[in-house]
Chain A
């Protein structure tokens, strides 16, 4: 299978704090990669570098064969103008921990905003697609509601529909259930599982070990800015080779 995401020796620091200390990771097309790790291990930062919400200090990331955020000439990487970066981002869906729906727009307006504004789709076509997506996440009847009238679980499902509206090649989830009440976690994970079963390429940063075991093709364990180990869930979760992975799993399981 072809490689969808190719991350090569990525370094990133915030001031004196080294957050990513040389990350190498490949994600194959159609596979689900779940990233686990303690808080501050750099997993969210890594995810944000993939759509250039964070710029890397060193290394390179390509998605579907295209360098993200840079243009290569010789041995130099030149930063792309924002217009080009925005175009790249429309092919990568991103779902935030805090949903980040636009509170002053209705659910439908949230979902059609990017197709209409960034992809220049005709409005009625975008609306039809949006209604189909809302039905897929079980919220067809909430199209005219405002985000604050919905539960956290419903808001996150709208956020997923909003990301899907761009027909992305890759979906990135940044702790999609961490801001939810426990009884609302299941409905969001069900939507993500459904997408996984349909062969969507995705990278999910999460603390839900059960979800990782059930859905992941690859589990990646990160600690202190490095990938400690990676492999199929049966290996990493049940027979971890590294002490740090074992220590982490014993705390969360």
Chain B
């Protein structure tokens, strides 16, 4: 098409541009509108069905939401999550450092750890630790069952599991840092510790925080698995109630809402953590 074709087009009325330049009209996306209407209708249907279904017994949910036993269960879930995350990432960071070291023995052991603990389902692992007394009836003269109560077993099992995943998350973060950064730090005479803490880790954190946030939320919910070994977490505490009162659904809703609330708070925290580690990543100030 020659440029004549364009200049000969009539000007659209009401445009402020040069008289011979036609106005741009965006494509009408009727399909998008239709999809939005369908989705909103289905959503409204779902919400009204939940609110109008008497069997949810929202009054029972409200009655149990802040009872002592539920709050004690919530508290255990929260601190268990915090302890498992802290210990898991501490061990995971060591494993990542070992995997990236020049020492082939350390590299091999780290790889083997991750392979083993990613291979065993967490439920199987918890049951194994819970029954470890069958393998080792006494440890240093103390009965194993006395030494390893359900909460200790939960911490050990979840931490070992968590560390395997944390190791890969931390290793990925470190690998995402450009090799030139370490060389520049070496050329400037910065010590190994300073290079790690001041140069590599802050940059690695950008790649570590999103999957770590994912893991934190996963761990929070994952701790509910410890209810199978009778640890009194959030899920177990509502189970104790509904085994007595048979109000299964409303009490599961109590746990559901609490898990959702805590997850939301954690997501907000992750957002601010990501912003902090994005310093210098943007071109504009």
Contact = CB atoms under 8 A, between A and B. Distances in A.
Interface of A: 51, 53, 82-83, 86-87, 89-90, 92, 94, 96, 98, 100-106, 113-114, 117-119, 145-149, 162, 166
Interface in B15-46: none
B189 A118 contact: yes
A114 B280 contact: no
A104 B181 CA distance: 11
From A92, A105, A106, A162, residue with most partner B Cβ within 10 Å = A105
28 contacts: A51-B187, A53-B183, A53-B186, A86-B186, A86-B189, A87-B189, A92-B187, A94-B184, A96-B180, A96-B184, A100-B183, A100-B184, A101-B184, A102-B185, A104-B202, A104-B280, A104-B281, A114-B190, A118-B188, A118-B189, A118-B194, A145-B285, A147-B280, A148-B280, A148-B283, A149-B283, A149-B285, A166-B188
Interface string B243-275: 000000000000000000000000000000000
Contacts of B277: 104
A149 B188 contact: no
B209 interface: no
Nearest to B282: A148
Given A100-B180, A102-B181, A148-B282, A117 B191 contact: yes
Interface string B163-207: 000000000000000101101111111111010001100110000
Contact of A118 (B184, B191, B285): B191
Given A53-B186, A117-B198, A103 B281 contact: yes
B203 to A, nearest CB: 6
Q: Which of B181, B186, B202, B284 has the most CB of A within 10 A?
A: B186
B101 to A, nearest CB: 14
B284 A149 contact: yes
B143 interface: no
Contacts of B184: 94, 96, 100-102
A194 B189 CA distance: 25
Contacts of B284: 149
Nearest to A52: B186
A89 B183 contact: no
Given A100-B181, A147-B280, A148-B281, A113 B203 contact: no
A146 B203 CA distance: 14
Given A53-B183, A102-B185, 16 more contacts: A53-B187, A86-B186, A86-B189, A87-B189, A89-B186, A89-B187, A103-B280, A103-B281, A104-B203, A104-B280, A104-B281, A106-B280, A118-B188, A118-B194, A119-B189, A148-B282
B188 A90 contact: yes
A162 B183 CA distance: 14
Nearest to A88: B189
Contacts of A148: 280-283
A162 B284 CA distance: 23
A101 B202 CA distance: 14
Given A102-B181, A104-B280, A166 B189 contact: yes
Nearest to A106: B280
Contacts of A90: 188-189
